[in-house]
Amino acid sequence: MNQQMLSLANFTEDNLRAILQALPALIWLKDADGVYLACNERFEQFFGALEKDIIGRTDYDFVSKELADSFRANDLLAMQKGGLNINEEWISFAHDGHRELVETSKTPLHNSDGKLIGILGISHDITKRKQLEKYEKFRSSTLELLAKNIPLPSVLEAIVRGVELLHTNIMCSILLLDKEGKHLVDGVAPSLPSFYNQAINGVAIGVGVGSCGTAAFLGQRVVVDDIASHPYWAPYAELAAQAGLGACWSQPILSSELQILGTFAIYHREKNALADLDVYIIEQSAQLASIAIERKRIELKIQHMAFHDALTGLPNRSLLDDRLEQTKAACRRHHCFAAVLFIDLDNFKPLNDEYGHNAGDLLLQEVAHRISFCVREVDTVARFGGDEFVVILSDLESELAQAEQLACNIAEKIRASLSAFYQIDIPNAHKQTSVQHHCTASIGVVLLRHLQNDDIDIVKLADQAMYQAKAKGRNTICFLDSKP
């Protein structure tokens, strides 16, 4: 193509008009008094009129007086400045009623003699850009919340409320998948009616269980534009109608290992189709929720690991100390007795020596299980180390003799349970070796009094009692009084 042909000077009026019509911006020209001289097709959509009917008229003929006043004020400002004036404003398009946030640039236009022709105006749609900017701000503030160690429900509520602020008339929800991965629970949906939230709580996931139940089941986004007619919502159509819900888009919340943690959903009151920006917002919001949920889970895991024994899952010494303090306080408060049992396995070492450490580990796990089975939920079973376990029996009787009797009965139950045969199936590289093992335990018991002297090391005392049991020939229980 010849360079000459590209020059603007050679463009015919038709060419220039075609360019103005093709541009996605609103373009217009008004004289100094605000009377329209020309406009493009996009502008025609704004006024809902053809150019021929716009020319010769002013803003006051098409929009509210308030808006026309503000247009005129900006025209005058550009003329006073003698240069570019830029402002942002919300406008409604008369041809279909939709609203856009636009950035409007107005420039005084002069002819070749320097005489003012009028004002050239150009408006660009910046709705998406502004929403994205708003979303990015919301995203950073949510990440800041995450760094502040705020409880998970509060963070999830901040995500829901933050997204709701991006659009008028939307409601959001976050539902979590229960431990079994089968039900949606612990919903955070402050803008949805509580009768709706109650009806949804605990619902079993599956195809056809609304947008969220289906999204959680399939592990993919489910977009329902029209709840009233969509088969996924058939069982809940009445409930949704009562709650005034027209559309629901639901995004699964996935962990970093792609496990489904729950769903993030956006609801509209009317039928509504998903647009590009909505896809971005719903995906990003689900990701924010995922970070919050995973972070909390890791925190809980670390906390559990810090206070529990890795092999048996029982409380470790740190948690035992803590529980002991709680028990002492409860004894004082309720004027009742408690007891500490120190349990050491007899002749455990030979099992390790003969069948290896794995066999010993399996036996220790079974021991932990058997001891836990002999006590109540309120009691504490801790692994003290190696083949040693400590049990705190809390809230025993308030009468000494009865409390002693109860402690001895439970200790005997544990002794008998631990002395029963162990069937240990040791997994090897190719096959499984089954070993029948017999082992017993020596148990020391110390009663914790309600006015216990805090200087007494109860566990040490129970350990001494256990050694007496060993000395008596093992597989037996020895009782020591903690009275100073």
What residue ranges bind ligand GTP (CB under 6 A)? 311, 344-349, 352, 357, 360-361, 364, 386-387
Whichever of 189 and 391 has its CB closer to ligand GTP, that residue is 391
Least distance (Å) from ligand GTP to the CB of residue 387?
Answer: 5
Q: How far apart are CA 479 and CA 484, in angstroms?
A: 15
Q: Residue 179 class from Cβ within 10 Å (0-12 exposed, 13-18 middle, 19+ buried)? A: exposed
Q: Are 107 and 84 in contact (CB under 8 A)?
A: yes
Q: What is the CA radius of gyration of the chain?
A: 38
Whichever of 335 and 349 has its CB closer to ligand GTP, that residue is 349
DSSP 314: -
**Rounded to whole angstroms, what are the CA distances from 153 to 79, 268, 289?**
55, 23, 10
Using the structure block, give the residue that is written with the tokens 């409601």.
Answer: 171
DSSP 126: -
Residue 237's identity, in one-letter code, is A
Query: Which residue has the closest beta carbon to ligand GTP?
Result: 360
Least distance (Å) from ligand GTP to the CB of residue 339?
Answer: 22
Q: Residue 1 class from Cβ within 10 Å (0-12 exposed, 13-18 middle, 19+ buried)? A: exposed
Whichever of 278 and 309 has its CB closer to ligand GTP, that residue is 309
C-alpha closest to that of 179 among 284, 260, 250, 100: 260
Whichever of 217 and 342 has its CB closer to ligand GTP, that residue is 342
Whichever of 197 and 417 has its CB closer to ligand GTP, that residue is 417
* Phi/psi at 6 (5° precision): -80, -15
Whichever of 202 and 386 has its CB closer to ligand GTP, that residue is 386
Least distance (Å) from ligand GTP to the CB of residue 420?
Answer: 17
Residue 104's identity, in one-letter code, is T
Least distance (Å) from ligand GTP to the CB of residue 368?
Answer: 11
Least distance (Å) from ligand GTP to the CB of residue 306?
Answer: 18
Least distance (Å) from ligand GTP to the CB of residue 444?
Answer: 12
Least distance (Å) from ligand GTP to the CB of residue 466?
Answer: 9
Whichever of 222 and 345 has its CB closer to ligand GTP, that residue is 345
